[in-house]
Amino acid sequence: MSDSKTRSDKWASNTARNTTRLRYWTFAWVATSALAAFGPKFIWDFATLPTILGVLVNLGVGFGMIIANKQYLQGLDEMQRKIFLDACAVTLGVGLVCGLSYELLEDIKLISYEPEIPHLIILMCLVFLTTTIAGHRRYR
Amino acid sequence: MKNRLKVLRAERDWTQAQLADELQVSRQTVNAIEKGKFDPSLPLAFKAARLFGLSIEAIFQDETEP
Give the model confidence (pLDDT) of B30-57 as tens digits: 999 999 999 999 999 999 999 999 999 9
Average pLDDT, chain A: 94
Size of chain A in residues: 140
Pick B26's closest partner by Cβ from A5, A77, A82.
A77
d(CA B22, CA A3): 10
Contact B29 A11 (CB under 8 A): no
- A77 secondary structure, DSSP code: -
Model confidence pLDDT, tens digit, residues A28-76: 999 999 999 999 999 999 999 999 999 999 999 999 999 999 999 999 9
Interface of A with B in 99-138 (CB under 8 A): 136, 138
Banded model confidence at residue A10, pLDDT cuts 50, 70, 90: confident
Gap from B59 CA to chain A (nearest CA, Å)? 19
- B36 secondary structure, DSSP code: T
Chains A, B: CB pairs < 8 Å: 44
Q: Are A21 and A68 in contact (CB under 8 A)?
A: yes
Query: Which chain A positions have a beta carbon within 8 Å of B25's beta carbon?
Result: 77-79
**Least confidently predicted of A94-108, A114-128, B51-65:** B51-65
Contact B44 A78 (CB under 8 A): yes
- Reply yes or no on whether the pLDDT at A9 is more than 80: no
Contact B25 A79 (CB under 8 A): yes
Q: Are A68 and A22 in contact (CB under 8 A)?
A: yes
In the prediction, which pLDDT does B25 show? 95
Which chain B residue has its CA at the smallest distance from A1's CA? B22
Integer angstrom CA distances of residue B62 from B6, B7, B20, B44: 16, 17, 22, 16
pTM, entire model? 0.87
Contact A5 B21 (CB under 8 A): yes
Pick A8's closest partner by Cβ from B21, B29, B31.
B21
Contact A139 B21 (CB under 8 A): no
Banded model confidence at residue B64, pLDDT cuts 50, 70, 90: confident
In the prediction, which pLDDT does A98 show? 97
